Amino acid sequence: MRVLIVNTSEKTGGAAVAANRLKDALNNNGVKAKMLVRDKLTDDITVVSLGHEWQNQWHLLWERFCVFWHLRLSRNHLFEIDLANSGTDITRLREFREADVIHLSWINQGMLSLGSIRKILRSGKPVVWTMHDLWPASGICHYAHGCYRYENGCGNCPLLPGGGSGNDLSAKVWRRKRNVLEHNSVWFVTCSQWLCRQAKRSGLLRGQSVVSIPNPIDTHFFQPQDKKVARQRLQLPADRRVILFVSQRVTDRRKGMDYFVEAVARLTEDHPEMRENTGIAILGGHAEELEGKLALPVYPLGYVSDQHQIRDVYNAADVFVLPSLEDNLPNTIMEAMACGVPCVSFKVGGIPEMIDHRKNGYVAAERDAADLAEGMRWVLDEADREMLSEAAVGKVLHSYSQRSVALQYINVYNEAMAFKNYQI
């Protein structure tokens, strides 16, 4: 079986990381898998570039300009909206022709247009589409933020100026997606049960197959290692407990930094001794902007792409905190747990599926900074750290190992291929 996974980037972003890991998992379990990407960053022979860089850049810039125009030249929500009004036709590529299954992943920001997707569906090849967020099932947004207009046509979009209208951009794109998807079978896969429930409410996906399969992780690579050695490599203090916060862009409000700042302030107010024995390591872009905002010493690690160094960062931590306000199945939580690090996060999205409350981490009440602070205190001062660590590793081995996830996807591929063969 030959599978072509289509994703905008090879490495940048959580969806790219997940797609790359799935490719490796499939190849390690008897499937010949390749990735087709716009942004190729390595010399991996199983990853193929679209080529034609200037055309790719044009697709990206044109779509961004159109979004910018509809936002009345405001940058608010500029990267929360995708139109898929410009993109590349991949059906003529050799890799496409040779594939038995086309597996769409995160294909936004000028990678594929809705017209490109229509051509893929009309090619007759079985199509599996992994949803890393809600965009395939909504009009223009990636996260619904409590809005359910996508169930029956969108419109009055809160991301558009003035709240949009009944026939605004979100409603128009929703109808275009419906025209692409109706009368075509797509096997949708969500990375979490939470997203699966949301997707099944969409009018766009009525009659389509929607199942939930988590992202995989290489548990031979991400695993517990010597904490002292990891800290030495990162030049982190050996005499302090380390709270870790990770995000591609730490100032992203969706990742909940404001609640993290408030929770740390509460911790130090109630437990002033923490100022002497605890610090915060921050991994991600713009980490230096948070110095002075947190009530504990901050160790900004910046943006790191080297996987060995990222593994060191997790192993150097005593607790990992991710107060996301909305999230699917964060790779960062999975990576931390695989390294035996207990996690503290809000009860949102797919996170409660990953963290078992007070068994391998702590799930705080949504948007509750006081409970987030209690979770950090409980992990650092009260819980049996060894028991938490073992339970975290055990959860990852059982639920997110390469083999477990690959076999679930292979079942979906076989079902899609059998259906296409039956139609023929």
User: Which residue in this structure is represented by tokens 């939580």?
Assistant: 333
To the nearest whole percent, how much of the chain has pLDDT over 70? 98
pLDDT band of residue 424 (cuts 50, 70, 90) is low
DSSP letter for 217, please. Answer: B
d(CA 339, CA 344): 15
d(CA 420, CA 99): 14
d(CA 137, CA 188): 10
A 10 A CB-CB count for 124 gives: 10
Largest pairwise CA distance in the chain: 71
Query: pLDDT digit string (tens) for 168-186?
Result: 999 999 999 999 999 899 9
Looking at residue 26, its amino acid is: L
Write down the mean pLDDT value for the chain.
94
Note the pLDDT of residue 13: 87
pLDDT band of residue 422 (cuts 50, 70, 90) is low
End-to-end CA distance of the chain, in Å? Answer: 18
pLDDT band of residue 139 (cuts 50, 70, 90) is very high
pLDDT band of residue 328 (cuts 50, 70, 90) is confident
pLDDT band of residue 286 (cuts 50, 70, 90) is confident
Query: pLDDT digit string (tens) for 13-36?
Result: 889 999 999 999 999 999 999 999
d(CA 54, CA 172): 28
To the nearest whole percent, how much of the chain has pLDDT over 90? 86
CB 208 within 8 A of CB 145: no
pLDDT band of residue 227 (cuts 50, 70, 90) is very high
CB 23 within 8 A of CB 35: yes
CB 18 within 8 A of CB 31: no
d(CA 319, CA 260): 13
Helix, strand, coil % in the chain, rounded to nearest 5: 45, 20, 40
Note the pLDDT of residue 423: 62
Helix/strand number for the chain, H first, E second: 15, 13
User: Which residue in this structure is represented by tokens 């695989």?
Assistant: 338
Stretch among 84-98, 99-113, 240-254, 294-308 having the lowest mean pLDDT: 240-254
Note the pLDDT of residue 9: 96
The token duo for 295 is 């009530």
pLDDT band of residue 285 (cuts 50, 70, 90) is confident
d(CA 398, CA 194): 19
Kindly state the average pLDDT of the residues 99-124.
Answer: 96
Note the pLDDT of residue 398: 92
CB 101 within 8 A of CB 421: no
Kindly state the average pLDDT of the residues 225-250.
Answer: 92
Kindly state the average pLDDT of the residues 325-341.
Answer: 93
Kindly state the average pLDDT of the residues 32-49.
Answer: 96
SS3 196: helix
Note the pLDDT of residue 292: 77
Note the pLDDT of residue 293: 83
Helices (H), 166-287: 169-181, 193-200, 227-234, 257-270, 274-277
d(CA 198, CA 188): 12
Kindly state the average pLDDT of the residues 87-92.
Answer: 96
DSSP string covering 357-419, please? Answer: BTTTEEEEPTT-HHHHHHHHHIIIIIS-HHHHHHHHHHHHHHHSBHHHHHHHHHHHHHHHHHH
pLDDT greater than 90 at residue 222: yes
SS3 155: coil
Kindly state the average pLDDT of the residues 46-52.
Answer: 92
Beta strands 209-212 and 241-249: pairing type? Answer: unpaired
Note the pLDDT of residue 84: 96
Beta strands 278-285 and 298-302: pairing type? Answer: parallel
Strands (E), 127-240: 127-131, 187-190, 209-212
Kindly state the average pLDDT of the residues 319-341.
Answer: 94
11-16 contact pairs (CB < 8 A, 24+): 11/39, 11/41, 11/42, 11/305, 12/39, 12/41, 12/248, 13/106, 13/248, 14/132, 14/248, 14/330, 14/331, 14/332, 15/105, 15/106, 15/132, 16/106
